[in-house]
Amino acid sequence: MTDDRSSPADPDESPDSEQSASREASSEETEASDATDRLSIADFHDASQEVGRPVLTAAAVSRALDLTHEAASEALENLADGGDLQRLSVGTDPVVWYPSELEDLTDRERVVVFPKRREIVVDRPAQFTRAQLSQFAHLADANGDDGYRYVVRPEDVWGTPHDSFDALRRTMRQAIGERSDALEDWVQSQWDRAHQFRLTTHEEGYTVLKARSAEIMGNVARQKLDEEHVHAPISDTEDWVREGAEAAIKRILYEAGYPVQDHRDLESGEALPIDLEVRLRDYQRTWVDRFAEAGEGVFVGPPGSGKTVAAMGAMAHVEGETLVLVPSRDLARQWAETIADFTSLEPHQIGQYHGGRKEVRPVTIATYQIAGMDRHRSLFDDREWGLVIFDECQHVPSDVYRRSTHLQSRHRLGLSASPIREDDRQQEIFTLVGPPIGTDWEALFEAGFVAEPELEIRYVPWGDEEQANAYASAEGREKYRIAARNRGKVDEVRYLLSAHPDSKALVFVDYLEQGRDIAAALDVPFLSGETPHHERRRLLDEFRRTERDLLVVSRVGDEGIDLPTADLAIVASGLGGSRRQGTQRAGRTMRPAGGALVYVLATRGTREEDFARRQLQHLGRKGITVREETVDRDGDREDR
């Protein structure tokens, strides 16, 4: 009986079960319908970002967006019917989906925004698009095949040249071609951060730190600053700043994510009319205009892009007494000569202040070391500068150079080909000097203003067994030193010079002994820090006049002197140096004349291989093609 009763369906429960199943099915259908209605091409891009590829299956979309497979499939079909997606049958998984714009990548510009990563990927961008993007984003990567990856960083938003967020938002939409609410919301949050604090001058002459609200003053500034920075509160939103603490306050709040607007009434010093006697290129004029709007900034551009001339354009705008800070006396002399050549200033208005000369004039060029010394600083502190220029400003965060940033002026300007530091303190460059202002390298290459050099890493075998055995038994830094001084590189330098007999060439080394050996083998001068200044000047002048076509140069050539342009640069050692050093050495060939070559020699099978790739990697991101080639003992070369 029990079996008989249990076999048929219970008449009392059956209708409820059917109704429950019906409700569940209806709920699933509603969910699928809702998903179909709300799935957009932007959602597809989000899924693509999460999965890490632009071509997706329905299963991948369902997992990424937490949908049923049926709902995802139907939504994808709807997007395909609307023309946003394309479908392709590939066999094992019957259909894959991809954005329609992927079909015509080769024919037109395409912009894809990844708001979660704050990245903008652009294929075949128009010059207008790149110009707009450069106002609020950083060019992080250029793959050499017309593909560009921009990253929107806080410092890019903080330094944007716009007077209002509405103006910045218009620029973003012009660059991207559409509205991206998530990215715009984040950019607005950074814009708001950049306008929470400002330094002003009280009517009695002292400096005041002002906050937009009492909450931001109490929760940020008064938590981060102490009696070394401020005397006392003036109100809920104002603090009385200690004299000389302004730079430290700007740095501390910048690191906390709140850049300070500097609205102090600094003196401009004596008026100094300056006419620029050379025409600025369009991008240089843009740099100067952006500097004029902000009152400060860092001109960032590759070697050869004319940062020095643009800086003189800034001098002509300010028309005030100017202090130029440089790393060495050689650069001080070259700055003085360039200013005399390209502006209306007379030689008696231009002074140099360093170990060789002690002149303070309306325009003074001094070394960082001298400007930071207590016994000399008063000379610079007592003068009211309208503008302070920091050449090679990537050095500014270092302990030696930082003291020079305490000098106060109405305007400040930095120059750098590569504002990066191996100690990751590059953000301090922008807090101590000003926001980055520049044009992406690829645009300058395309316009012909700067020649794109051809870079090639050449993996060289050991010159003899003795050095190879010494490397195998060495440890730590000694391994790098032995690999760097591989005597096989002398033969490779000879080979490269013979392959380019008509080139003006510079051979770079890190070690004095290696430099002397290569110079002796080639019977040419070796220019190093030990070379007397008058001899150094003579050799460089001969190279400029093409009376000499080959020099071996030590690290002194990286930044301390203004080396003349070369057609050929060979880096025989120095791969353990910084990424900035790689930029500087490559930059010795980056001038409007084309056909420049840079060869980087690395000892095969050693740590130098990794050093070479890492040092030049960031140049590859800027659009420069980097090749690799292995050199065999018998002289044959094998491309990688």
Residue in the block written with tokens 């002292």: 206
Show the 3-state SS of 89-122: CCCCCCCEEEEHHHHHCCCCCEEEEECCCCEEEE
Residue in the block written with tokens 């632009």: 54
Do residues 479 and 611 both lie within one domain?
yes
CA-to-CA distance for 120 and 103, rounded, in angstroms? 19
Mean pLDDT within 70-92: 78
Show the 3-state SS of 223-247: HHCCCCCEEEEEECCEEEECCCCHH
412 contacts 387 by C-beta, under 8 angstroms: yes
Write the DSSP string, 2-14.
HHHHHSSPPTTTH
Provide the 10 A C-beta neighbour count for residue 91. Answer: 5
Query: pLDDT-derived band of residue 589, with 50, 70 and 90 as boundaries?
Result: very low
Kindly report, residue by residue over 459-475, the tens digit of the pLDDT: 999 998 899 999 999 88
**302 belongs to a structural domain:** yes
**445 belongs to a structural domain:** no
**276 belongs to a structural domain:** no
CA-to-CA distance for 113 and 275, rounded, in angstroms? 44
Amino acid, single-letter form, for residue 567: D
Cβ within 8 Å of residue 552, ≥6 positions away: 506, 507, 509, 515, 518, 519, 522, 524, 525, 526, 527
Kindly report, residue by residue over 133-192, the tens digit of the pLDDT: 888 988 877 655 557 889 999 988 988 878 899 999 999 999 898 889 999 999 999 999
Provide the 10 A C-beta neighbour count for residue 262. Answer: 20
CA-to-CA distance for 506 and 522, rounded, in angstroms? 12
Do residues 313 and 236 both lie within one domain?
no
Last residue of a domain, one of 102, 134, 152: 102
Do residues 154 and 217 both lie within one domain?
no
Do residues 504 and 582 both lie within one domain?
yes
Query: pLDDT-derived band of residue 449, with 50, 70 and 90 as boundaries?
Result: low
| Residue 280 CA: distances (Å) to CA of 87, 306, 342, 352 | 51, 9, 11, 26
Residue in the block written with tokens 């299956």: 57
Do residues 225 and 132 both lie within one domain?
no
Do residues 432 and 459 both lie within one domain?
no
Three-state SS for 176? Answer: helix
Do residues 423 and 461 both lie within one domain?
no
CA-to-CA distance for 187 and 61, rounded, in angstroms? 28
Residue in the block written with tokens 């200033």: 345
Mean pLDDT within 2-31: 44
The length of the chain is 640
Interior/surface letters 332-371, b for 16+ CB within 10 angstroms, e for the rest: bbbbbebbeebbebeeebbbbbbeeeeebbbbbbbbbbbb
Do residues 176 and 145 both lie within one domain?
yes
Element (H, E) at 551: strand 550-553
CA-to-CA distance for 197 and 201, rounded, in angstroms? 13
Last residue of a domain, one of 153, 170, 193: 193
| Predicted local confidence at residue 289, as pLDDT | 92
CATH number of the domain that residue 605 is part of:
3.40.50.300
Last residue of a domain, one of 67, 102, 137: 102
| Predicted local confidence at residue 317, as pLDDT | 94
Kindly report, residue by residue over 254-269, the tens digit of the pLDDT: 889 898 988 887 666 6
CA-to-CA distance for 411 and 564, rounded, in angstroms? 30
Q: Of the spans 21-35, 49-63, 398-412, which averages the highest pLDDT? A: 49-63
Three-state SS for 196? Answer: coil
State the average pLDDT for the chain. Answer: 79
**267 belongs to a structural domain:** no
**275 belongs to a structural domain:** no
Region of poorest pLDDT, from 8-22, 385-399, 495-509? 8-22
Q: At what angle do helices 533-544 and 329-342 cross, to 10 degrees?
A: 50
Residue in the block written with tokens 């100094």: 272
Kindly report, residue by residue over 340-360, the tens digit of the pLDDT: 999 999 999 999 998 778 888
Maximum alpha-carbon separation in the chain: 122
**274 belongs to a structural domain:** no
Residue in the block written with tokens 């050996």: 517
Do residues 109 and 97 both lie within one domain?
no
Do residues 78 and 110 both lie within one domain?
no
Mean pLDDT within 612-638: 67
Q: What percent of the chain has pLDDT over 90?
A: 30
Kindly report, residue by residue over 283-299, the tens digit of the pLDDT: 899 999 989 988 888 89
Question: Residue 152 corresponds to which tokens in the numbers above?
Answer: 């929107």
Kindly report, residue by residue over 93-106, the tens digit of the pLDDT: 457 777 765 555 44
**270 belongs to a structural domain:** no
Do residues 615 and 466 both lie within one domain?
yes
Q: For the chain, first and last CA: distance in Å?
A: 84
| Predicted local confidence at residue 635, as pLDDT | 47
| Predicted local confidence at residue 587, as pLDDT | 47
159 contacts 299 by C-beta, under 8 angstroms: no
Residue in the block written with tokens 């369906």: 9
Q: What percent of the chain has pLDDT over 70?
A: 75
**619 belongs to a structural domain:** yes
| Predicted local confidence at residue 401, as pLDDT | 60
> What residue numbers bound the domain in which 489 lies?
451-639
Do residues 427 and 458 both lie within one domain?
no
Element (H, E) at 149: strand 147-151
Write the DSSP string, 409-432.
EEEEEEEES----TTS-HHHHHHH
Flag whether pLDDT at 30 surpasses 80.
no
Domain count, the chain: 5
**Angular region, 418: left φ>0, alpha ψ -120 to 50, beta rest:** beta
